[in-house]
């Protein structure tokens, strides 16, 4: 698969691109955000109210996306690898 075909199939754009020239070959690494998990935390703050104020409760929910880099590697403009850094050797 060529680079243009891969770009057409991706839902997001690459966050960075690195081009390496080695022994007459051209290698292009593209990094894409890959959401691997999501965490949610809830914090409740009670306000007992000072003189003349009504007591209240404020609840805040925070959702955090955990992402890793999906690596797409091209050699001479052809797809050679896609995956995570730990699997690339």
Model pLDDT, residue 62: 93
The model carries a pTM of: 0.64
- Report whether 69 contacts 32 (CB < 8 A): yes
Report the percentage of the chain scoring pLDDT > 70: 99
pLDDT tens digit string along 63-83?
Answer: 998 888 899 999 998 999 999
SS3 7: helix
The token pair at 26 is 């051209």
Give the position of tokens 């080695």.
22
């Amino acid at each position: 698969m060529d680079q243009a075909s891969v770009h057409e199939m991706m839902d997001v754009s690459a966050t960075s691109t690195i081009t390496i020239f080695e022994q007459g070959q051209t290698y292009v690494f593209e990094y894409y955000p890959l959401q691997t998990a999501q965490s949610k935390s809830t914090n409740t703050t009670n306000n007992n109210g000072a003189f003349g104020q009504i007591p209240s409760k404020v609840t805040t929910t925070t959702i955090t996306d955990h992402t890793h880099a999906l690596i797409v590697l091209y050699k001479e403009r052809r797809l050679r690898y896609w995956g995570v850094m730990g699997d690339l050797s």
